[in-house]
């Protein structure tokens, strides 16, 4: 069965600093990988996705993620964090044999210090 | 594009009553819709997957008679929490997918409080 691990429950960074959120997955084939962001009391918004091809994917709001098959990782990065980036971030892996269904990690809460 | 509307955003009800939550894809046809439950500071727990015109597929441990899902059209799915009790209080989120590549578009969620 597929699974997703986000090792960091909570991360605090200063505004303007760089950010990396970790995500490790377990899946038997080439996965579909996603990062979503959730603001308090809201649904989730897709930041970026990986299906195939270039392993470095660009997303919205200046985020990027790199798929590393050898490490089973899909870490999210941003070179300079803004206060508005404070939110909950979820990594997800899609089961490409079960159309549409995804498994989500437990999430990482990002706090941004002024 | 790919907007999903979820209504209501917040509902308070008495124990024993039923509550219906609607999930609509506004600008696309959703081949599949998903219903999740989220507890505070926790991840999303998939409750069920529904396709238009067919019965929903429930995840293990989710009572299908308790959480009724109807997917009447390619743009509308409803979740009815029947005979709600305080332990059903939670944040319920729907999402919709329009292709086989697992991209899900989420509603804003419904906070259910059962008194």
| Contact across the interface for A100 and B100, Cβ inside 8 Å | yes
Whether B103 sits inside 8 A of A34 (CB atoms) is yes
pLDDT digits (tens, 9 = 90+) for B28-75: 998 899 999 998 878 889 999 998 878 899 999 999 999 999 988 889
How close B44 comes to chain A (CA, Å)? Answer: 7
Q: Would an 8 Å CB–CB cutoff place B42 in contact with chain A?
A: yes
User: Is the pLDDT at A54 greater than 70, yes or no?
Assistant: yes
CA separation for the pair B18, A44 (Å, rounded): 26
Which class for A37: exposed (0-12), middle (13-18), buried (19 or more C-beta within 10 A)?
Answer: buried
β-strand A73-78 against A19-21: which pairing, if any?
Answer: antiparallel
Cβ-in-10-Å burial (0-12, 13-18, 19+) of A58 comes to: exposed
Determine the pLDDT at residue A84.
94
Is the pLDDT at B80 greater than 70, yes or no?
Answer: yes
> Within the 5-44 window of chain A, which residues sit less than 8 Å (CB to CB) from chain B?
32, 34, 36, 41-44
- Whole-number pLDDT of residue B83: 96
User: What confidence score (pLDDT) does residue B41 get?
Assistant: 78
Residue of B nearest to A102 (CA): B102
| Mean pLDDT across A36-62 | 92
The CA–CA distances, whole Å, from A71 to A1, A5, A24, A105, A108 equal: 18, 13, 8, 17, 19
Sign of the alpha-carbon dihedral angle for B114, B32, B98, A36:
positive
Query: Which of A28-32, A66-70, A88-92 is predicted least confidently?
Result: A28-32
CB contact under 8 A, B32 and A90: no
Per the prediction, chain B carries an average pLDDT of: 92
pLDDT bracket for residue A97 (50, 70, 90): low
Task: Give the number of other CB atoms < 10 A from CB of residue A2.
Answer: 18
Q: Are B32 and B49 in contact (CB under 8 A)?
A: yes
- Of A27-31, A52-56, B66-70, B106-110, the poorest mean pLDDT is in A27-31
A108 to A20, A33, A35, A55, B4: CA distances (angstroms): 11, 16, 11, 22, 24
**Residue B39, pLDDT score:** 86
Give the pLDDT score at B13.
95
Looking at the predicted structure, is the pLDDT value of residue A31 above 80? yes
Element (H, E) at A34: strand A32-38
Kindly state the average pLDDT of the residues A82-97. 90
Residues of chain B positioned with their CB less than 8 A from the CB of A32: 101-102
* pLDDT higher than threshold 80 for residue A95: no
For residue A89, what are the β-bridge partners? A37, A108
Nearest to A101 among B6, B49, B106 (CB): B49
Record: contact B111-A41, CB cut-off 8 A: yes
According to DSSP, the β-strands at B67-73 and B57-58 are unpaired
Tell me the pLDDT band of B98, cut-offs 50, 70 and 90: confident
For chain B, say whether A49 makes contact (Cβ under 8 Å).
yes
For A106, the closest chain B residue by CA position comes to B43
Q: Is B101 on the interface with A (CB under 8 A)?
A: yes
Please state the separation of Cα A93 from the chain's center in Å.
10
- Token code pair at residue B86: 């305080």
pLDDT at A99: 55
CA distance A93 to A50: 10
């Amino acid at each position: 069965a597929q699974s997703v691990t986000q090792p960091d429950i909570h991360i605090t960074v200063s505004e303007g600093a760089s950010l990396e959120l970790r995500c490790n997955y377990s899946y038997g084939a080439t996965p579909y990988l996603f990062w979503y962001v959730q603001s308090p009391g809201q649904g989730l918004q897709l930041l970026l996705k990986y299906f195939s091809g270039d392993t470095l994917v660009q997303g919205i709001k200046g985020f990027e993620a790199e798929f590393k098959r050898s490490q089973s990782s899909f870490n999210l990065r941003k070179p300079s964090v803004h206060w508005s980036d404070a939110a909950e971030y979820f990594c997800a892996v899609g089961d490409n044999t079960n159309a549409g269904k995804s498994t989500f990690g437990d999430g990482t809460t990002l706090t941004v210090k002024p | 594009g790919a907007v999903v509307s979820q209504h209501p955003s917040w509902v308070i009800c008495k124990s024993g009553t039923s509550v219906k939550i609607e999930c609509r894809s506004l600008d696309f046809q959703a081949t599949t819709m998903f219903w999740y439950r989220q507890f505070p500071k926790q991840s999303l727990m998939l409750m069920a997957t529904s396709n238009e015109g067919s019965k929903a597929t429930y995840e293990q441990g989710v009572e299908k008679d308790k959480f009724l899902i109807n997917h009447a059209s390619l743009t509308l799915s409803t979740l009815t929490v029947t005979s709600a009790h305080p332990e059903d209080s939670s944040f319920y989120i729907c999402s919709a997918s329009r292709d086989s590549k697992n991209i899900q578009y989420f509603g804003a969620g419904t906070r259910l409080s059962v008194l």
